[in-house]
Chains A and B, each alone.
Chain A
Amino acid sequence: MGWYLWQFVLTSLQVVALILTPGRQPKPGIVRMSIDGLSDTEVTVLVVLITITPDTLVIAVDREKDILFVHGMFVDGDSEGFRKSLGQTRDRLLFGVRARPEAERKRGVLA
Protein backbone atom coordinates (compact mmCIF):
# COMPACT_ATOMS: atom_id res chain seq x y z
CA MET A 1 0.00 0.00 0.00
CA GLY A 2 2.65 2.47 0.98
CA TRP A 3 4.78 1.19 -1.88
CA TYR A 4 1.92 1.81 -4.32
CA LEU A 5 1.24 5.35 -3.06
CA TRP A 6 4.93 6.16 -3.42
CA GLN A 7 4.91 4.83 -7.02
CA PHE A 8 1.81 6.92 -7.72
CA VAL A 9 3.34 10.21 -6.53
CA LEU A 10 6.69 9.45 -8.19
CA THR A 11 5.25 8.70 -11.64
CA SER A 12 2.89 11.70 -11.40
CA LEU A 13 5.83 14.01 -10.82
CA GLN A 14 7.70 12.32 -13.68
CA VAL A 15 4.83 13.05 -16.08
CA VAL A 16 4.61 16.68 -14.89
CA ALA A 17 8.39 17.08 -15.33
CA LEU A 18 8.15 15.64 -18.85
CA ILE A 19 5.41 18.06 -19.82
CA LEU A 20 7.06 21.12 -18.32
CA THR A 21 10.48 20.47 -19.91
CA PRO A 22 10.33 22.37 -23.20
CA GLY A 23 11.19 20.47 -26.36
CA ARG A 24 11.17 17.03 -24.74
CA GLN A 25 8.87 14.39 -26.19
CA PRO A 26 7.84 11.15 -24.47
CA LYS A 27 9.20 7.77 -25.55
CA PRO A 28 6.08 5.63 -25.29
CA GLY A 29 5.55 1.97 -26.02
CA ILE A 30 2.81 -0.68 -25.96
CA VAL A 31 3.62 -3.98 -24.28
CA ARG A 32 1.81 -7.29 -23.84
CA MET A 33 1.42 -8.68 -20.37
CA SER A 34 0.23 -12.13 -19.35
CA ILE A 35 -2.70 -12.38 -16.93
CA ASP A 36 -2.78 -16.17 -17.03
CA GLY A 37 -4.57 -17.72 -14.08
CA LEU A 38 -6.26 -14.58 -12.71
CA SER A 39 -9.97 -14.45 -11.89
CA ASP A 40 -12.20 -11.75 -13.38
CA THR A 41 -12.21 -9.74 -10.15
CA GLU A 42 -8.43 -9.78 -9.94
CA VAL A 43 -8.12 -8.64 -13.56
CA THR A 44 -10.49 -5.74 -12.89
CA VAL A 45 -8.55 -4.58 -9.83
CA LEU A 46 -5.27 -4.96 -11.72
CA VAL A 47 -6.55 -2.84 -14.65
CA VAL A 48 -7.65 -0.09 -12.27
CA LEU A 49 -4.33 -0.18 -10.38
CA ILE A 50 -2.28 0.00 -13.59
CA THR A 51 -4.35 2.86 -14.99
CA ILE A 52 -4.29 4.97 -11.79
CA THR A 53 -0.49 5.40 -12.02
CA PRO A 54 -0.32 8.17 -14.60
CA ASP A 55 2.45 6.83 -16.84
CA THR A 56 0.83 3.47 -17.54
CA LEU A 57 -2.51 2.91 -19.28
CA VAL A 58 -4.34 -0.31 -20.17
CA ILE A 59 -5.61 -0.15 -23.76
CA ALA A 60 -7.17 -3.55 -24.31
CA VAL A 61 -7.96 -6.77 -22.46
CA ASP A 62 -8.03 -10.11 -24.27
CA ARG A 63 -9.73 -12.63 -21.98
CA GLU A 64 -9.52 -15.51 -24.45
CA LYS A 65 -5.74 -15.41 -24.70
CA ASP A 66 -5.34 -13.82 -21.22
CA ILE A 67 -3.29 -10.83 -22.38
CA LEU A 68 -3.33 -7.18 -21.30
CA PHE A 69 -2.04 -4.51 -23.68
CA VAL A 70 -0.43 -1.74 -21.63
CA HIS A 71 0.67 1.66 -22.92
CA GLY A 72 3.63 3.15 -21.04
CA MET A 73 4.96 6.67 -21.34
CA PHE A 74 8.59 6.02 -20.42
CA VAL A 75 9.21 2.64 -22.08
CA ASP A 76 12.04 3.97 -24.29
CA GLY A 77 12.52 0.69 -26.18
CA ASP A 78 13.10 -1.29 -22.97
CA SER A 79 10.06 -3.57 -23.20
CA GLU A 80 11.52 -6.26 -20.92
CA GLY A 81 12.18 -3.85 -18.05
CA PHE A 82 8.71 -2.35 -18.41
CA ARG A 83 7.08 -5.79 -18.42
CA LYS A 84 9.06 -6.66 -15.30
CA SER A 85 7.80 -3.62 -13.39
CA LEU A 86 4.21 -4.43 -14.43
CA GLY A 87 4.69 -8.01 -13.26
CA GLN A 88 5.87 -6.63 -9.91
CA THR A 89 2.57 -4.72 -9.52
CA ARG A 90 0.59 -7.86 -10.42
CA ASP A 91 2.48 -10.10 -8.01
CA ARG A 92 2.12 -7.62 -5.15
CA LEU A 93 -1.64 -7.49 -5.80
CA LEU A 94 -1.94 -11.27 -5.87
CA PHE A 95 0.18 -11.60 -2.74
CA GLY A 96 -2.25 -9.30 -0.93
CA VAL A 97 -5.48 -10.77 -2.32
CA ARG A 98 -4.93 -14.52 -2.42
CA ALA A 99 -5.70 -16.42 0.75
CA ARG A 100 -2.65 -18.69 0.72
CA PRO A 101 0.14 -17.01 -1.23
CA GLU A 102 2.84 -19.37 0.04
CA ALA A 103 1.11 -22.52 -1.21
CA GLU A 104 0.40 -20.93 -4.58
CA ARG A 105 3.97 -19.77 -4.89
CA LYS A 106 5.04 -23.40 -4.60
CA ARG A 107 2.57 -24.45 -7.30
CA GLY A 108 4.06 -21.84 -9.57
CA VAL A 109 1.06 -19.56 -10.00
CA LEU A 110 2.87 -16.64 -8.40
CA ALA A 111 6.25 -15.58 -9.67
Chain B
Amino acid sequence: MSSEMIITVIGSALLIFGAAIIFSAAIGVLKLPDVFTRTSAIGTAAGLGVSLMIVGVVVIDFSVLNLIKGIIAIIAQLITSAIGSFVLARASYMTGSEPVSTTLPDELSHQANAT
Protein backbone atom coordinates (compact mmCIF):
# COMPACT_ATOMS: atom_id res chain seq x y z
CA MET B 1 0.00 0.00 0.00
CA SER B 2 2.60 2.54 1.03
CA SER B 3 5.06 1.57 -1.74
CA GLU B 4 2.24 2.15 -4.21
CA MET B 5 1.78 5.62 -2.75
CA ILE B 6 5.50 6.41 -3.07
CA ILE B 7 5.43 5.36 -6.74
CA THR B 8 2.40 7.58 -7.36
CA VAL B 9 4.06 10.55 -5.66
CA ILE B 10 7.33 10.19 -7.60
CA GLY B 11 5.55 9.71 -10.92
CA SER B 12 3.24 12.68 -10.31
CA ALA B 13 6.22 14.88 -9.39
CA LEU B 14 7.99 13.91 -12.63
CA LEU B 15 4.85 14.63 -14.68
CA ILE B 16 4.32 18.04 -13.06
CA PHE B 17 8.01 18.97 -13.39
CA GLY B 18 8.02 18.06 -17.10
CA ALA B 19 4.84 20.03 -17.73
CA ALA B 20 6.33 23.00 -15.86
CA ILE B 21 9.41 22.93 -18.11
CA ILE B 22 7.23 22.86 -21.24
CA PHE B 23 5.27 25.78 -19.74
CA SER B 24 8.46 27.77 -19.10
CA ALA B 25 9.47 27.19 -22.73
CA ALA B 26 6.09 28.61 -23.76
CA ILE B 27 6.79 31.73 -21.66
CA GLY B 28 10.18 31.92 -23.35
CA VAL B 29 8.58 31.73 -26.79
CA LEU B 30 6.60 34.85 -25.89
CA LYS B 31 9.40 36.69 -24.10
CA LEU B 32 12.69 36.02 -25.91
CA PRO B 33 13.81 38.49 -28.57
CA ASP B 34 14.60 36.52 -31.75
CA VAL B 35 13.87 33.24 -33.50
CA PHE B 36 17.18 31.57 -32.55
CA THR B 37 16.81 32.08 -28.80
CA ARG B 38 13.17 30.96 -29.08
CA THR B 39 14.27 27.78 -30.83
CA SER B 40 16.75 27.19 -27.98
CA ALA B 41 13.92 27.52 -25.44
CA ILE B 42 11.81 25.02 -27.37
CA GLY B 43 14.83 22.68 -27.37
CA THR B 44 14.59 22.67 -23.57
CA ALA B 45 10.93 21.67 -23.68
CA ALA B 46 11.57 19.01 -26.28
CA GLY B 47 14.54 17.48 -24.49
CA LEU B 48 14.09 17.68 -20.74
CA GLY B 49 10.34 18.36 -20.56
CA VAL B 50 9.10 15.51 -22.74
CA SER B 51 11.76 13.13 -21.37
CA LEU B 52 10.65 13.78 -17.77
CA MET B 53 7.00 13.22 -18.70
CA ILE B 54 7.84 9.92 -20.43
CA VAL B 55 9.81 8.79 -17.36
CA GLY B 56 6.82 9.74 -15.19
CA VAL B 57 4.47 7.61 -17.28
CA VAL B 58 6.88 4.64 -17.09
CA VAL B 59 7.20 4.99 -13.29
CA ILE B 60 3.43 5.07 -12.74
CA ASP B 61 2.54 2.39 -15.29
CA PHE B 62 5.59 0.14 -14.91
CA SER B 63 6.32 -2.96 -16.97
CA VAL B 64 9.43 -4.17 -18.77
CA LEU B 65 7.82 -3.57 -22.16
CA ASN B 66 6.91 -0.02 -21.18
CA LEU B 67 10.46 0.58 -19.96
CA ILE B 68 11.92 -0.48 -23.33
CA LYS B 69 9.39 1.60 -25.25
CA GLY B 70 10.10 4.58 -23.00
CA ILE B 71 13.87 4.39 -23.55
CA ILE B 72 13.44 4.15 -27.32
CA ALA B 73 10.93 7.04 -27.27
CA ILE B 74 13.31 9.30 -25.29
CA ILE B 75 16.26 8.60 -27.60
CA ALA B 76 14.13 9.13 -30.72
CA GLN B 77 12.68 12.30 -29.23
CA LEU B 78 16.13 13.78 -28.48
CA ILE B 79 17.60 13.02 -31.91
CA THR B 80 14.60 14.12 -33.96
CA SER B 81 14.04 17.31 -31.96
CA ALA B 82 17.71 18.23 -32.43
CA ILE B 83 17.46 17.72 -36.19
CA GLY B 84 14.20 19.68 -36.23
CA SER B 85 15.74 22.62 -34.33
CA PHE B 86 18.73 22.69 -36.67
CA VAL B 87 16.61 22.61 -39.84
CA LEU B 88 14.26 25.31 -38.50
CA ALA B 89 17.15 27.59 -37.51
CA ARG B 90 18.78 27.11 -40.89
CA ALA B 91 15.54 27.81 -42.77
CA SER B 92 14.92 30.92 -40.68
CA TYR B 93 18.42 32.21 -41.33
CA MET B 94 18.27 31.55 -45.06
CA THR B 95 14.95 33.36 -45.42
CA GLY B 96 16.45 36.45 -43.83
CA SER B 97 15.53 36.34 -40.13
CA GLU B 98 18.18 38.55 -38.57
CA PRO B 99 19.45 37.67 -35.08
CA VAL B 100 18.65 40.28 -32.43
CA SER B 101 21.09 43.20 -32.29
CA THR B 102 22.44 42.19 -28.87
CA THR B 103 23.93 39.06 -30.47
CA LEU B 104 27.65 39.65 -29.94
CA PRO B 105 29.87 38.41 -31.46
CA ASP B 106 28.05 37.61 -34.71
CA GLU B 107 30.63 35.84 -36.83
CA LEU B 108 28.04 34.65 -39.35
CA SER B 109 26.89 38.10 -40.52
CA HIS B 110 29.78 38.60 -42.95
CA GLN B 111 29.28 35.18 -44.45
CA ALA B 112 26.57 35.45 -47.08
CA ASN B 113 26.64 32.09 -48.83
CA ALA B 114 26.83 29.51 -46.07
CA THR B 115 25.19 26.27 -47.11
Q: What are the nearest 9 A-B pairs in CB distance?
A: A60-B114, A19-B28, A51-B82, A54-B44, A12-B48, A54-B43, A52-B82, A69-B108, A30-B108
Check A19–B114 contact: CB distance below 8 A.
no
Pick from A19, A55, A62: contact of B24, CB below 8 A. Answer: A19
6 A-B pairs besides A12-B21, A49-B82 with CB distance below 8 A are A8-B47, A16-B24, A31-B105, A48-B79, A48-B82, A71-B103
CA distance A27 to B105 in the complex (A): 10
Closest residue of B by beta carbon distance from A32: B107
Query: Is A79's CB under 8 angstroms from B82's CB?
Result: no
A13 to B85, CA, bound (A): 19
- Of B5-13, B29-37, B64-72, the one touching chain A: B29-37
Task: Decide if the interface of chain A is mainly helix, strand, loop or mixed.
Answer: mixed
Contact among B33, B36, B100, B102 for A59, CB-based, below 8 A: B36
Contact of A58 (CB < 8 Å), options: B25, B89, B107: B89
11 A-B residue pairs with Cβ-Cβ distance under 8 Å, sorted by A, are: A19-B28, A26-B33, A26-B37, A29-B104, A51-B43, A57-B40, A57-B43, A62-B115, A69-B111, A71-B103, A73-B40
Query: How many A residues face the partner with a CB closer than 8 A?
Result: 39
Interface status of A105 (Cβ within 8 A of chain B) = no
What residues of chain A lie closer than 8 Å to B62, measured between beta carbons?
Answer: none
Residues of B within 8 A of A (CB): 21, 24-25, 27-28, 31-34, 36-37, 39-41, 43-44, 47-48, 78-79, 81-83, 85-86, 89-90, 93, 99-100, 102-109, 111, 114-115
From 35 to 59 in chain A, residues with beta carbon under 8 angstroms from any chain B beta carbon are 47-49, 51-52, 54-59
A57 and B39 contact, CB distance less than 8 A: yes
Q: Mark A83-95, 1 if CB is under 8 A from B, else 0.
A: 0000000000000
CA distance A48 to B100 in the complex (A): 24
B76 to chain A, nearest CB (A): 12
Contacts of A71 in B (CB 8 A): 36, 40, 89, 99, 103
Tell me the smallest distance from the CB of A81 to a CB of chain B, in Å. 12
